[in-house]
Structure 1
């Protein structure tokens, strides 16, 4: 390996790929040696992302044009369902963080049910580590392949996993009402994402059938030590980025909302990127925009015996590219916050 890690980004022309370039441009131990984009091959980065045009980086190429003998590490930011065979074909020396959903679900039958086809690299799935960094540092550090969590699952699990592990909430009664910016749908041109379709309105989608539901349930079930089914509904907001998850929970074992706050405070007191807001403070997506930070808030519900746990993050950073860089840092034993210490943008 050279003095700097030689990194390729597969799918560099999408929103997540662009965020990876933006963050890694500040990483002193990384050199971007290959950027791929099948439909944009032959273009410069400046043509695809003018805001990154000042960076001196390789021209975009197709995946089959990359010499992976000259690559140490890959960020795979390809669409769901296209990643498995690509990663399976990589040389064994290349370590990977995959930002698609292709390796997130441990159960192959569950993957086939929700994604509509059999898993194409089952042997790799066995070795893949689910990389919600705050809960999986040891496994991530030893992994060759890390499955980067989805944006909604990251938001929900950071709020709920410690509460389930501690027995502070009932596992049988969890409602997650989540709202995301339009960038979560990707950069491809789609009628449903046009300005006239999303501006000045809000709508639910994937109602009762969103693919992030089994991923959320997988993590929460592990935390509870028993199978969990959650009520999860995502909504599209007329904003470019951000996620707000409102989690409605039933208190357990005599706990009060302040006890939930105490559990979260204790669990995250030494974390760089996860914070608990002061009592009465409602976290907002504008408080984390452009950053790798997550802010949690706890409120009593007006319904006795219940509480509301809020979680906000930037879907393109902690919900995707930022967490991917965080995982890479852990994989190589570097300072976990390297290239991720940007303060949120406001306004």
Structure 2
């Protein structure tokens, strides 16, 4: 099988570097161009020493002419920039976006949550918000693939099967998520300069974090009832990983064991979702440097409630790994390609 030519735009951020690490191991991908802005002319090994012995192109400025011989474009850019690139796609070029440019189905919602007008409204219908284990089968019909955010990935994977089977109530859901600071990008040290990232735990985006929009948009596809949830993200003094703790009320006659069985049955054919034994205590250390999501269902002191623990690596399953997973589905590559 011939290799696909790939371009990575936004190659020097935490997600971009992680993506390149996966792509260099992918036997069906040739990294033709690495693009950046302030990094133009530099080697990617300046940003990660593991690339020192790899034959990779120097970083260049993106321009639309680069797309002529490109099969797949990965964009790990600030919100809005992938919209501009999308306008120049050839009909045979796939765009896989790791930012938020095509996550929301309405341009009005994008304006509401991201405070900027969408610059490629006509392409939203050509895009797919793809959580691979949930709706990955729809990828083949779309030229633009939008990868979910890291927090929503950790929350949606355990909740969607339960919503789909009416096992939990859709009100009074509490989503408490804690992430390594890499999730905020390289600018995190400037943005949170007064927070002492290495020794403190910080809540942010309380009540109105942008990821509320995609969590609600996706969950609404699986229920006709009005949703009622609170999502609160936190930055922790670690580099990578997410642990989400989700508190839900059970529907009548639903038990912890029934929840576990439904999750296990739903994901038993998936390579990257691991449903653990009841009341398993999990940590981010279980999933670091993997594309896995570990899910544990725990008892509450209240009979009609359960507590769900969900752990992922925000840079892989919540970012670059999910992008490669979507790539593999789109081009019919073995699902584990580049992800071992």
Give TM-score scaled by structure 1 length: 0.95
Query: Shift of the alpha carbon at 1:274?
Result: 0.3
CA distance in 1, matches of 2:236, 2:194: 11
Q: Is the 8 A contact 2:36 2:62 kept in 1?
A: yes
Equivalences for residues 254-333 of structure 1 within 5 A:
254-333=253-332
Structure 1 window deviating more from structure 2 (35-44 vs 226-235): it is 226-235
Structure 1 window deviating more from structure 2 (257-266 vs 5-14): it is 257-266
1:266–1:307 CA distance, 2 compared to 1 (3 A): same
CA distance in 2, matches of 1:87, 1:109: 19
Structure-1 residue corresponding to 2:51: 52
CA distance in 1, matches of 2:131, 2:228: 20
**In the TM superposition, what whole-angstrom CA distance separates every residue of 1:308-343 from its partner, at most 9, and x where no partner exists?**
0110000000000000000000000111111112xx
Q: Is the 8 A contact 2:17 2:47 kept in 1?
A: no
Q: Secondary structure at the residue paired with 1:197? A: coil
Q: Is the 8 A contact 1:176 1:246 kept in 2?
A: yes
Query: Shift of the alpha carbon at 1:230?
Result: 1.7
RMSD: 1.5
Structure-2 residue corresponding to 1:127: 126
CA distance in 1, matches of 2:304, 2:263: 18
Query: Shift of the alpha carbon at 1:131?
Result: 0.8
Q: Secondary structure at the residue paired with 2:178? A: strand
CA distance in 1, matches of 2:225, 2:118: 25
Q: Is the 8 A contact 1:7 1:30 kept in 2?
A: yes
Q: Secondary structure at the residue paired with 1:247? A: strand
Q: Is the 8 A contact 1:192 1:198 kept in 2?
A: no
Show structure 2 runs of 5+ residues with no match. none
Q: Secondary structure at the residue paired with 1:190? A: helix
1:13–1:66 CA distance, 2 compared to 1 (3 A): farther
Q: Secondary structure at the residue paired with 1:75? A: strand
**In the TM superposition, what whole-angstrom CA distance separates every residue of 1:226-275 from its partner, at most 9, and x where no partner exists?**
44242000011000000001010000031011111111111111110001
CA distance in 2, matches of 1:279, 1:293: 18
Query: Shift of the alpha carbon at 1:66?
Result: 5.5
Q: Is the 8 A contact 1:277 1:283 kept in 2?
A: no
Q: Secondary structure at the residue paired with 1:177? A: strand
Give TM-score scaled by structure 2 length: 0.96
CA distance in 2, matches of 1:64, 1:137: 30
**In the TM superposition, what whole-angstrom CA distance separates every residue of 1:24-46 from its partner, at most 9, and x where no partner exists?**
11111100000001110010111
Query: Shift of the alpha carbon at 1:64?
Result: 1.6
Q: Secondary structure at the residue paired with 2:81? A: coil
Query: Shift of the alpha carbon at 1:23?
Result: 0.5
Structure-1 residue corresponding to 2:218: 219
Query: Shift of the alpha carbon at 1:199?
Result: 1.8
